Structure 1
Amino acid sequence: MMSKNIILIGSLCFLLASCGDEPKERQEIPQWSVEHSTRMNKQFTQEDEINIRLFLDRKKSWKTTETGSGLRYWVYEDQEGENAVEGDKVDVKFEVSMLSDSLIYKTEEDEVSTFKVDKSDIETGVMEGIKYLSEGDKAKLIIPSHLAHGLLGDYNKIPPLEVLVVDLELVKIY
């Protein structure tokens, strides 16, 4: 019992000694502005651009077209037909990889993924890219991070600020 009291008194003395009268320094919270966000977004976009160019240097046979948003696409099997448009329901097969060629997601051999163009919770880059395709087309999409999962990733397999490479087949348009 005596040793418990000694430990308790010792602990109290330690706590009192560590509670000095010195004022704690207030940590200043930096002010965030639109300029900060703009600068940061430009930096991320520049880094994506550099990484995409390095990737394309390794893929010389890919004849990509760049859109105003930064999406790059290459239709490597063109079936000639009407392109998918907003509101169309589509069946697609896909493989999603990182620039390192590491496979992240893919549809199974006998399955398709179905969604409505511009009306689904699909990456903005895929929604933009699908509109360059007609039924039966196969394409490669290089999707900058701001058109993919951005600053957060997908909380599963896609890390934050990751450029995605999507091999996409537009199986059917409804």
Structure 2
Amino acid sequence: MKKLGFLPRAVAVALVVLGLSSCAPPSSADAEKHKKESLKFLVENEKKPGVLSTASGLQYMILDEGTGISPKATDTVTVKYRGSLISGQEFDSGENVSFPLNGVIRGWTEGLQLMKEGAKYRFFIPPKLAYGKSGVGRVIPPNSALIFDVELVKVNSTD
């Protein structure tokens, strides 16, 4: 079973049980199509007012600044989130979900460290910082850029 980096294990197991995640390899034509769509979206998105970018290619918008502490990659965080494809199709959401920050997709690990408790950001995550050319079964196609609205509720610091 493919580990879903942004979902708790119980949700990932449920996706497999419901048949929404499969082990079938993605077609190379689909992978190439999504790669081109993702690149086009990210190039255009970066030009929009309020969109910031990191050296890795992560794009984000600050919807609401927080006032608390910022997490380190080794911290456990609690978040509220909504994830969608660039088409707008929502594939997941959660409220008060806790996880170790270094146990999720790279785009989340990097992006959440930019935030402070109470902040709300929108992440535009390139495929290389998400699930890359493998995707996640029928839930997230190969080479898909992802959009997440995330609120950092709490940082459970390891210090």
Q: TM-score, normalised by structure 2?
A: 0.70
What pairs with 1:163-174 in structure 2 (closer than 5 Å)? 163-174=145-156
> How much identity, in percent, do the aligned residues show?
30
1:112 paired residue among 96, 101, 107: 96
Structure with bigger strand share is 2
Deviation at 1:112, TM superposition (A): 1.8
CA distance in 2, matches of 1:171, 1:99: 25
Kept in 1: contact 2:76–2:98 (CA 8 A):
yes
CA distance in 2, matches of 1:134, 1:54: 27
Q: Does 1:159 align with 2:141?
A: yes
Radius of gyration: which is bigger? 1
CA distance in 1, matches of 2:138, 2:115: 28
Residue aligning to 2:90: 103
Q: Which has the higher contact order (CA 8 A, sep 6+)?
A: 2
Q: TM-score, normalised by structure 1?
A: 0.64
Ranges in structure 1 where 5+ consecutive residues have no aligned partner: 1-43
State the 4+ residue runs in structure 1 displaced beyond 6 angstroms. Answer: none
Deviation at 1:74, TM superposition (A): 1.3
2:76 paired residue among 70, 85, 89: 89
CA distance in 2, matches of 1:104, 1:56: 23
Residue aligning to 1:141: 123
Kept in 2: contact 1:140–1:168 (CA 8 A):
yes
Kept in 2: contact 1:55–1:99 (CA 8 A):
no
CA distance in 1, matches of 2:55, 2:113: 14
Q: Which amino acid aligns with 2:99?
A: F
Number of residue pairs matched?
123
Q: Which amino acid aligns with 2:44?
A: L
Kept in 1: contact 2:65–2:119 (CA 8 A):
yes
CA distance in 1, matches of 2:149, 2:59: 12
